Structure 1
């Protein structure tokens, strides 16, 4: 059999986008920009700068994840990973991650020293997850820190900004991060376990992880709905109702059919509700 053709530039670029874990990376970026423009009161240029800094950080995290995990992904034949299919090399992932990290530092510094220090600490927590913490019982902690702290990057990043995000925004974000971690690991539990990854979800098992993801994400929505001063509005109450229905269905399916993908999908939908409510209520 002849050797596989070298990937074209277009194929390599598309593979790099996939290796960056594009959907969550762009979702986090969109949230940061929207929160900066809405709740933090940033003008359009500053909101774009916040989004650019966050995007660079997310790209560095995604590429470092696939770079550091390349040997594990190759061992279990993860066909969804570009490094396994040969579309990108480990060296390209490493180089891309480091370049994105440098860009993240430069863009973060343009937001001011307080925002830069916080954002780089959050990105560092995500790199620590990739490098070590994902295989420990503390695998949830970087998610709690990063998601809880991200809104304050926006509030500190506006000109003259000195205030952190409100407590309920930080708490809701931290819970959202933990729930997203539990849900995100669900599809890969077996592959992870086969290569020695033993984070909190792997110790809990599929059923308890699915139940925990739904519960934690629902609590995140409750905090975002009830945390702001004053009575919740119609949008907040509607979001809470939708999130409750999704969480209950995820829990029921997780109990009856642990191998089903519905708990993962429902948990992601609850996370989306929480993100929308954070932007609307922030």
Structure 2
């Protein structure tokens, strides 16, 4: 069940958004609510993804997938996905109605991706919506329910688009064989690999220059790091075309972006 939920993004997204909540001024109890809501939402998305893709994964011979290897049953994964989603709803709303609505809209976008949007040219949109709404989920749970500044929403959306492109890179050939024709699949491996660093680097640039005040040493250092990661993402890894290195580089880029948000925690809760 752990492997079927896509544990790396589940843990990474939960940890990063919890850190963002702490930086924005949420109380320890508030941070715990944020963590629980994001964790259950991510679990529901990961499990639903494996359940929806089970037939395609089986046809592709994906023995690394628990549903294909027989390590877990389809009914168990489906029940877990629905159960996690059922928990996510009250946990999200416990952060405040507006904050809960923002988070649940992002979770709904992710479920929409799993249920068919990923097969269309708009495959990037659920990622942009889901990641773009995460700063709103955090700040709308604060006293006064402030909307986050535009630069934080734009940076989140850009990170989401970059994460989408890099995540599907290793599986483009199998996706095309299964009839999955999202935007990266339509572009092909070479053009998608070249495209992926663009929104990621743009997200970090927005986070460096969007908040008030000078970029500073930390900002310029972050741009240098994410620029290097952009090169890693764009250049084929030595492990071969199925390498997960681009996606791992995306997670590091996301961590760098959240580190920038932590440095500008006060700016996140100010109205633009």
Query: Normalising by structure 2, what TM-score?
Result: 0.91
Q: What does 1:21-36 correspond to in 2, within 5 Å?
A: 21-36=6-21
**In 1, are the aligned partners of 2:16 and 2:258 still within 8 Å (CA)?**
yes
Listed as ranges, the gaps of 5+ residues in structure 1 are: 1-15
Listed as ranges, the gaps of 5+ residues in structure 2 are: 266-272
- Distance apart, 1:18 and its partner CA: 1.1
Q: Is residue 211 from structure 1 mapped to residue 194 from structure 2 by the alignment?
A: yes
Between 131-140 and 257-266, report the one with greater CA deviation: 257-266
**Structure showing greater Rg:** 1
Q: Which has the higher contact order (CA 8 A, sep 6+)?
A: 2
Which residue is 2:5 aligned to? 20
Q: What does 1:1-282 correspond to in 2, within 5 Å?
A: 16-39=1-24, 41-158=25-142, 160-251=143-234, 253-254=235-236, 259=241, 261=243, 262-282=245-265
- Distance apart, 1:259 and its partner CA: 3.0
Seen in structure 2, the aligned counterparts of structure 1 residues 269 and 50 have a Cα distance that, compared at 3 Å, is closer
- Distance apart, 1:229 and its partner CA: 0.7
- Distance apart, 1:80 and its partner CA: 1.6
Between the aligned partners of 1:219 and 1:154, the Cα distance in structure 2 is: 22
Between 164-173 and 256-265, report the one with greater CA deviation: 256-265
**In 2, are the aligned partners of 1:53 and 1:108 still within 8 Å (CA)?**
yes
Residue aligned with 1:92, SS: helix
Deviations 1:186-226 (A, max 9, x none): 11111211211110000011111111111110111111111
Aligned residues: 264
- Distance apart, 1:129 and its partner CA: 0.2
Deviations 1:131-185 (A, max 9, x none): 0100000000000000000111011123x34112211111111000000000010
Residue aligned with 1:42, SS: coil
CA RMSD of aligned residues (A): 1.9
Between the aligned partners of 2:240 and 2:11, the Cα distance in structure 1 is: 29
Between the aligned partners of 1:131 and 1:81, the Cα distance in structure 2 is: 18
